[in-house]
Amino acid sequence: MNGSSVLVIAPHPDDEVLGVGGTIAKLVAGGASVEVVIVTKASPPLYSEDVLVTGRREARAAQQTLGVTRSRFLSFPAAGLDSVPHRELNAGLGEVFAEVRPDVVFIPFNGDMHTDHQLAFNSALVCSRPGSAWSPRSIYAYETLSETNWNAPYVTPSFVPNVFVDISAHLETKLTAMRQYASQLKEFPHERSIGALQALAAHRGSTVGVAAAEAFVLIRDLR
């Protein structure tokens, strides 16, 4: 998983922390350059200007906590990617891939309940096609509490992880980053709570014999 250039694709602010926060902190500590791109923008009439400003301010603070090298924000409509021609989303993400030329990419899981996540997954794979000048070496799909686990078992794709990252030394950094998303945090036992993140990290870690872990589905790995 180690790479000099890492790109995390988050459909919305906080997805990057929920799914990859501990791994980002670990990769940064190991010397990697990690960039995060938030694909959507909270726009009227669904969202007020305050929601946009708050979300981006919180995202920058959270990503700074994790040590992210650069935060990027695209302008596709939040909760509205299904209204965007697929080629336009491909082109928007393609520009990011062409500039970053990532070795490793983290993308949302295609079985997530939110359509924005599914479409971001599809476009990320289009941008990662083998043979392109910026095709990444490794691609991992991450899980997002309150999205990945809301699918319909045996009907939609199920998240069955086959890669685990030990984040025991970086869990507190992940939780501190998530606390920057004050507008999104809820009280436990809500899934978007600090307690739920701790529980998931402990659960994923216990399955592989460590105190805390993040889990991923490996999409591609070129050795």
The per-residue pLDDT for range 145-156, each reduced to its tens digit, is: 889 888 888 888
Read off the amino acid at residue 54: T
Q: What is the pTM of this model?
A: 0.96
Specify the CATH number of the domain 5-221: 3.40.50.10320
Q: Token match 């070496």: residue?
A: 137
Burial group, residue 82, by CB count within 10 angstroms (0-12, 13-18, 19+): exposed
Tens digits of residue pLDDT in 3-38: 689 999 999 999 999 999 999 999 999 999 999 999
Mean pLDDT by 10 residues, the chain (223 residues): 88 97 97 97 88 94 98 96 96 97 97 96 96 91 92 88 98 98 94 96 98 98 89
Rounded distance between C-alpha atoms, residue 91 and residue 151, angstroms: 28
Phi, psi values for residue 162, rounded to 5°: -130, 5
Cβ 21 vs Cβ 66: under 8 Å:
yes
